[in-house]
A = this chain, B = another copy of it.
């Protein structure tokens, strides 16, 4: 484990740190978000024949992943090679799992986190007329591969 905050130079100053000497390798990251929905929303979702709100959220998440380095100040711009988003309805809401990949000098953790977050915000936006108490919960990294720090997988139940 690293002993310091990210994106700081030795003098403690914020910077987009130099990754120029790192190797270009394949890197992937998967993030998860969960949107708690009430019964009214859960019943309305499958009833809407055209323009499934979950499809709108999927598109929004994919497009947001491509904007990550515009949104997160110290993120390096990366040529994403893949973005894949799954939305699954269950009894309490919708689970969002977003995976991003690249072949680059730094990882795509923030791209996966951003995709999951914006997909969740879009589910919220599409359903908010039916429920003002909707909550987005538990956005976290699930898995990460590639790069010097190697493979990471979140422990279940954490």
Residues of B within 8 A of A41 (CB): 5
Residues 59-80 of A at the B interface (beta carbon under 8 Å):
59-60, 62-67, 69-80
Size bracket, chain A contacts: 35 or more
A75 to chain B, nearest CB (A): 7
Kindly list chain B residues whose C-beta atoms are within 8 Å of the C-beta of A134: 140-141
- Asked if A95 is an interface residue, CB under 8 A from chain B, the answer is no
Indicate whether A74 sits within 8 Å of B101 (C-beta atoms), given known contacts A9-B84, A20-B26, A81-B18: no
A12 / chain B contacts, CB cutoff of 8 Å: 48-51
Contact across chains for A60 and B73 when beta carbons are under 8 A apart: yes
A114 CB-CB contact with B under 8 Å: yes
* Residues in chain B near residue A89, CB distance under 8 A: none
Q: Identify A118's interface contact among B2, B9, B71, B152, CB under 8 A.
A: B71
**Proximity bits, A118-149, B CB within 8 Å = 1, else 0:** 10111011111110111111111100100000
Instruction: Show the binding face of A for B, using Cβ within 8 Å.
Output: 1-9, 11-20, 26, 40-41, 44-45, 48-53, 55-56, 58-60, 62-67, 69-86, 101-105, 109-110, 113-114, 117-118, 120-122, 124-130, 132-141, 144, 152, 154-155, 158
